[in-house]
Each structure stands twice: as C-alpha cells, then as structure tokens.
Chain A
Amino acid sequence: MDLTSTLKSSIDKLNEQFPGKIADIYQSSGDTFVRVDADTIVDISRYLKEELRFVYLSDVFGTDRYQSDDRFEVVYNLISLRDRDRLFVKVWLNEESPEVDSVTSVWKAANWFEREVYDMFGIRFRNHPDHRRIYMPEDYSYYPLRKEFPLLGIPGSIELPSTTPESE
C-alpha cells in the first residue's frame, strides 16, 4: 500500500531527527506503525505533535506479547487533523519492570489512557500526574489483561456487597 505523501515525509523527517531511535517501520491492515526506542518516547512525541502536527492522541493501549523477549508493548494512536494521517507509534518494554515515561506533558489526553494501560497491564508511567487505577478497585492486586490472568478473574478478589443491611 502506498503512503500518503504527507505521511511519507513525516516518517522521513522522524528518521532524520532521531537517527538510531526508530527500531522498525512497517505497514499492516492499511495502517502505518513506527516502533521507537522507549527512552525517547517523550521527545519523539513532542516532535510529532509540534513539528509534524500529530495533535490528536486518539488512543493509547497496551499489548501483552506473552513469551516474547520484550513482553509488553504500548501503542500510541496518533492523528494529524491537518494532513488527515494516522500513525501508530509503539514502544516495547521488558517483563520485569515495564516502565515508560508518561506523554501527558505532550498530550493531556494521555492521562486516562495511561491509567487504563496501567490498570490492565501493570505498565508504569514515569512522571504521570495521577497514577491510579481507572477501572478496577484501587486495592485490586492483579492486572486483568495479562495473558496469565484467568478469564473469570480470581474468585473472591473483588468484594461483593454485604447481603445484610447495616441496620440489622
């Protein structure tokens, strides 16, 4: 599939600006993916937003690449409203301490997205302004979208309400 001219020039500029930090560029299902070095994600994000006009962070999600070397992946779904381009930026993180810098300083929208990724996969985001779980109870001790987590959850791990009213 052909890249749009704007997307092609964006990727060329990205390559030029961050030599050696772009690990992989490929296309799949009609979308363009760029895998970058996890340590430079904030710089790359800021460049993408301010220079290449990817102003809209549509989504951030995690992936569990179970039994692969770098087990976790964080994917940033970026949209350039000016050029009508969509770009997926990925970083790979290791299994022992999955940690990456937060991009909330670039896109404010990343706040809740990163909380969701943390909630579901246990990936930590450095310098996140509000690093809490977003869906599961705050005292929950598992990460439900990890591959080893059972489908029906851990029995008894989330409290059900008491069936006797407090007054009785």
Chain B
Amino acid sequence: MGLESALGEGYFTSRVDTLVNWARSNAAWPMPMGLACCAIEMMAFAGPRYDVSRFGSEVFRFSPRQSDVMIVAGWCSYKMSHAIRRIWDQMPDPKWCIAMGACASTGGMHRCYGVVQGVDNFLPVDAYISGCPPRPDAVIHALMKIQEKIRTEHSVTLDT
C-alpha cells in the first residue's frame, strides 16, 4: 500500500547527520522579533499567500524556548538591544538569526544616536535581507539560505 510495496525489500543508507539536518531544516520555527514595519511583511510571509508552512516554518513561537530562528524585523534601539539579546540567550541551541530589512542589517535610514547600526553588533546574524521593507519572497529566500546552511552543518558528528 505504502512506499514499501513499491520499493519491495531493501535498505537505504544515509548518515545520522543528514537525517537530523533534514529534520531540523524543515522545522525551523521562527521567533518573531517584530520591531517595526518589517513585522507586517513577516506576517505576510507566514500567511496563506506566501505560505511559509511549505518550508516547515509556519509555527511562529512567541516563546524563545521553542524557537530555532530569530527574525529581527525592524530597527533596534539601544534600549531594545538588551531585551533582544536576552531573548536570544534564552533560545536553545542550535539557533539561527535573520536580520530582516535595511534597519536590522545596518541601521538603515535611522542613522542616529539611538539606533544600533546593525543587529550584528550584538547578535550572530546568519542571513541579511535587503529591502525597506523586504518582500515576503525575500524572507523566504533568507529562510531557504538558512535551510541550506543547516543541511551542510555537522550536527551529530564532530567537525574535526
């Protein structure tokens, strides 16, 4: 009835790494760090039109304990940076970070004393998205880049 009947008797070889990475990359739950207008596009990215559930990332977790990818969407002030870093520290490893939009990546048009000129000043960012705000497709692109990164990582075996 299932796949087994079509394949018949046999076996399949892989590595645990590959299997774990495959599972991880298709269940990268985002931590929505919506700080400004980019958050609206981030919602569209999760909504039915762009439908990020195709990539297994539809479950926006508002608890850092349950999330894997932090999407920093919007400009980040110095005061907010402490809260973001705290939430980032609460996320369990392995974790990834997307700096969404010009402001989160570089400070963008907020070239002033109160805004951190890029969240990479205090977070290890894996993917930067250009745009002001970026289209939801661009966020999906960043997510796919992160999936690619997850799939090529050493997750179980040591990288020696």
Contact = CB atoms under 8 A, between A and B. Distances in A.
Interface of A: 135-137, 144, 149-154, 158-163, 165-166
B82 A136 contact: no
Contact of A160 (B86, B89, B116): B116
B70 to A, nearest CB: 14
Given A153-B113, A166-B89, 12 more contacts: A136-B114, A149-B113, A151-B111, A151-B112, A158-B113, A160-B121, A160-B122, A161-B84, A161-B85, A161-B86, A163-B85, A163-B122
B122 A152 contact: no
B78 interface: yes
Contacts of A161: 81-82, 84-86, 122
B49 interface: no
Contacts, number: 39
Interface in B70-93: 78-79, 81-82, 84-86, 89
Interface of B: 78-79, 81-82, 84-86, 89, 111-114, 116-117, 121-123
B113 A151 contact: yes
Contacts of B111: 151-152
A153 B89 CA distance: 27
B81 A160 contact: yes
Nearest to A163: B122
Nearest to B121: A160
23 contacts: A135-B114, A136-B114, A137-B79, A144-B113, A149-B113, A150-B113, A151-B111, A151-B113, A152-B111, A152-B113, A152-B117, A153-B112, A153-B113, A153-B114, A154-B113, A159-B78, A160-B78, A160-B81, A161-B82, A161-B85, A161-B122, A162-B85, A166-B89
A159 B113 CA distance: 12
